[in-house]
Structure 1
């Protein structure tokens, strides 16, 4: 029986840095274009690579490496600009439709798995429910209708909180604890369940949740609840997903070597230019420099790691070495985070969609040994892509390699949307908050249990209990001193009344009152 070829397929490539994602995208595009006589286009899904210039620090593919294949959503943002997931998905979906309209095959590739996940699946991510994301359905900007729940919460705000709500900052504060706590307190008042997800110092996420409410007219909790009612998110397009995976023991030395190569290619010069760009933008816009460093291109690994070295006069070789090690450490940490997101968030959602008969397939490709990359990554991906587009049956994913057989069975089921809200809930310690005069929050579970067992918390708890015990010696002494002061005041007043009109000199009365003050510690 002849299978029906897919008319609107999507191929996606994900994985950590350093596994050859960009190279595979180009190889696939060239092979599919030549074999199927269909147009191909690559769509970038790496947040840092959306910025123009700064090619070394963002690990952009070079024009020569692109080999003539069109690359989209790469280098189109200016340093200092921000790009949100809603805007990127809007643009990516538009490009996918355009490529499909010409009979082509879009290939999406990048290391920002968060973006890929919400592109592949039609999730009800709160930030996608704003007016910024409404164009995904072609509706454009529409008037926001506020939910009764949010309207009631806003009507109960204090005057100061209402003023903050009406004039929300566009950029999260950096090194401004007072504003960060005010924003978190506002989120607590409007959406207490979602507020428990974020530490008050995580001002960017707190502010984003507030903007989601302002732009959508609903609390994020309400949007998650609606997603719960609608069930498992389904794929936007029939999709074939490749997860390029390398064992950490082989990947980490490779990442160290990459950092060394970036330095030889001019990484430091690029960071210096970034610092100059940031200083210029700060002067032109009035934005705080440290705040700018927490967003956009300035979050690239290497920028803050070499800050001490580039700020030292004269340049310190020891600080340079520290910058190199810090950059290597951050790069390896980023790779671990990418794997964690794919394993714990993206893959469970994709597999749930597949289990609900959604048109999406995922294959793990072993990119551990670069000498075998062509055989175990490129050729396997080309073969699977040809079968997928032709509508032919695909093999069992665990059968491709030992790595696939080890990885795939360990993946957990996707949590429900409401379970996501409850996960990593932050608990506020009222006792330590009172003693330190700043909000003390801990993740529920192990971190919270460790805190309450800690010496500092136990000492503060004991001090609070003593302070509230009326029979505690400290309170008894305070009460005695207060009563002594009251007696002294009463005696002073009685003495003053007794000497009125008696002809005594005022000076003698003042000396007597002073002596009383000395006696009772009232001076």
Structure 2
């Protein structure tokens, strides 16, 4: 840190010189291949300061370029003159509703431009899926690179960021139907009849009828169709059906979408891409252009649960003061407008559109007249507030799980050690932000932009860094199948009769036998 400080002072004392023309910067850009171009990502749970760090890094890059322009030799000048932030939060893409989505304010931005923030009308659009956001982000990144600017991808929807930076591992969704937030197209794929004829067991008449009725179903089918739809998926794509719970109609419908629209199984597409990934890994090309899009630097801000949870509780309390209740009332008006207009978005579906925002579902049982500060002391209000805090803490835990289970191994597999990678930053003590977060981040960032050797990730980030960044195995990273896991039906726990409700035990790790033993010794299992 002292070296960087001394260097900055020296730079400020040097005489100013004329900056190179923009045409020279554009020619410099053309000499890069896509995988040489830098992208920075700032990830972590809610409430750890991702936006704050992103803004500070963008400001540093601009200062760094300005300082280098004042050096005596133009050869030492950085190619990258500034940076902008690209939002990677699935709820912050919506216009308005800034409190419930925890958007960064204009004042907090301090002049740093943000892209893909507040651009979707919550009244008219269901939102963006991963594929649409990745496509838009690629355009924004290309635009920034062409202007000699560094993209800083920031947000809590980590799986979006993962599929942007490391594109292999999951097939692109179909271009029609649910991926476009409209019902199934009226006409199926021309190859659908041949696909159905190839099934080892033909569809029953009722399943055939249900398949061809898909265009007439709403995006959120009625509950009584949940089991028949899953049974239909089991008939046409059993591997994928084993991965989804029969009550998860959203995923079941998306899987049926590929069969209807393209006449193929989604599971087969996943398997094909996994074979491609393994071949790339076996050839030692995991860090090549096939495995990543850019030269990647990821900062993971982290605070342990015992420190983060009280911080998140306090953040929810502060949201009440900032106007959360006003926004909840606004969201109910939006829901009424959408119901009246027969919108494709179901405001009663808490996994749909802006209504996924934590707080909307938790306060849904309260009448609108109770969404006022005067109701704060009441038991129903306090119960809803407690549920919102619990949901926020649970969401933070799920964000950490994605990073450790999904992203961590992919970064290790597909980045070049010493040139890129993921670095943990200790955001436990916000009073020591500059020392524990900003200073080490800038040190790594400078080396990254200078194409110098980066420090070992475990050497910064505090005492938790070695364990949190370490993989669970030695040797080459293990490529986990997208279709790993499954489900089995516990007949003893299932309900039979007219109101049949099969009890599915879902498992993603280990074996089916281990999942079965775990269920049978648990309290839920009926003995």
Query: Is TM > 0.5 for Structure 1 vs Structure 2?
Result: yes
Alpha carbons 1:243, 1:362 under 8 Å: kept: yes
Q: Cα 1:171–1:301, aligned 2, differ >3 Å: closer, same or farther?
A: farther
2:323 corresponds to which of 241, 244, 266:
266
1:376 matches 2:439: no
Q: Structure 1 residues 93-102 or 402-411, which shifts more?
A: 402-411
What secondary structure is seen at the aligned counterpart in 2 of 1:185? helix
Q: CA deviation at 1:294?
A: 3.0
Q: CA deviation at 1:244?
A: 0.6
Instruction: Tell me the residue number matched to 2:142.
Output: 97
Q: Structure 1 residues 243-252 or 154-163, which shifts more?
A: 154-163
1:198 matches 2:241: no
Whole-Å separation in 2 of the counterparts to 1:414 and 1:430: 38
C-alpha distance after superposition, 1:139-180 (max 9, x if no partner):
xxxx97859767623993344433433443675436x33211
Whole-Å separation in 1 of the counterparts to 2:262 and 2:298: 31
- Aligned ranges 1:380-419 → 2 under 5 Å: 380-400=440-460, 401-411=462-472, 415-417=478-480, 419=481
Instruction: Tell me the residue number matched to 1:301.
Output: 358
Q: Cα 1:433–1:368, aligned 2, differ >3 Å: closer, same or farther?
A: same
- Aligned ranges 1:160-309 → 2 under 5 Å: 160-168=206-214, 172-173=219-220, 176-231=222-277, 232=281, 234-285=291-342, 291-309=348-366
1:310 corresponds to which of 340, 349, 367:
367
2:57 corresponds to which of 28, 35, 58:
28
Q: CA deviation at 1:95?
A: 0.8
Whole-Å separation in 2 of the counterparts to 1:33 and 1:144: 51
Q: Cα 1:59–1:399, aligned 2, differ >3 Å: closer, same or farther?
A: same
Q: CA deviation at 1:11?
A: 0.4
Q: Cα 1:145–1:251, aligned 2, differ >3 Å: closer, same or farther?
A: farther
What secondary structure is seen at the aligned counterpart in 2 of 1:236? coil
Alpha carbons 1:154, 1:190 under 8 Å: kept: no
Whole-Å separation in 2 of the counterparts to 1:119 and 1:335: 21
Instruction: Tell me the residue number matched to 1:156.
Output: 202
Instruction: Tell me the residue number matched to 1:511.
Output: none
Q: Which has the larger radius of gyration?
A: 1
What secondary structure is seen at the aligned counterpart in 1 of 2:403? helix
Whole-Å separation in 1 of the counterparts to 2:161 and 2:197: 34
Gaps of 5+ in 2: 1-30, 66-79, 178-187, 282-289, 507-511
Alpha-carbon RMSD across the aligned residues, in angstroms, is: 3.1
2:155 corresponds to which of 87, 110, 134:
110
Q: Cα 1:9–1:146, aligned 2, differ >3 Å: closer, same or farther?
A: farther
1:13 matches 2:59: no
- Aligned ranges 1:332-371 → 2 under 5 Å: 332-354=393-415, 360-371=420-431
Alpha carbons 1:348, 1:411 under 8 Å: kept: no
Q: CA deviation at 1:317?
A: 0.9
With the length of structure 1 as denominator, give the TM-score of the two structures: 0.77
Instruction: Tell me the residue number matched to 1:485.
Output: none
C-alpha distance after superposition, 1:13-66 (max 9, x if no partner):
100001100011111111112212613221100000011100000000001111
C-alpha distance after superposition, 1:473-518 (max 9, x if no partner):
xxxxxxxxxxxxxxxxxxxxxxxxxxxxxxxxxxxxxxxxxxxxxx
What secondary structure is seen at the aligned counterpart in 1 of 2:505? strand
What secondary structure is seen at the aligned counterpart in 2 of 1:363? strand
Whole-Å separation in 1 of the counterparts to 2:233 and 2:200: 11
Q: CA deviation at 1:383?
A: 1.8
Q: Cα 1:313–1:249, aligned 2, differ >3 Å: closer, same or farther?
A: closer
Whole-Å separation in 2 of the counterparts to 1:168 and 1:422: 28
1:130 matches 2:174: yes
Q: CA deviation at 1:241?
A: 0.6
Alpha carbons 2:418, 2:455 under 8 Å: kept: no
Whole-Å separation in 2 of the counterparts to 1:150 and 1:99: 47
Larger % of helix: which?
Answer: 1
Alpha carbons 1:172, 1:291 under 8 Å: kept: no
Q: CA deviation at 1:445?
A: 5.0
Alpha carbons 1:235, 1:359 under 8 Å: kept: no
Alpha carbons 1:237, 1:359 under 8 Å: kept: no
With the length of structure 2 as denominator, give the TM-score of the two structures: 0.76
Alpha carbons 1:150, 1:219 under 8 Å: kept: no
Whole-Å separation in 2 of the counterparts to 1:301 and 1:267: 11
What secondary structure is seen at the aligned counterpart in 1 of 2:318? helix
Whole-Å separation in 1 of the counterparts to 2:169 and 2:436: 36
C-alpha distance after superposition, 1:363-419 (max 9, x if no partner):
1111111011112211211221121111100011111121212312254576535x3
Whole-Å separation in 2 of the counterparts to 1:23 and 1:223: 39
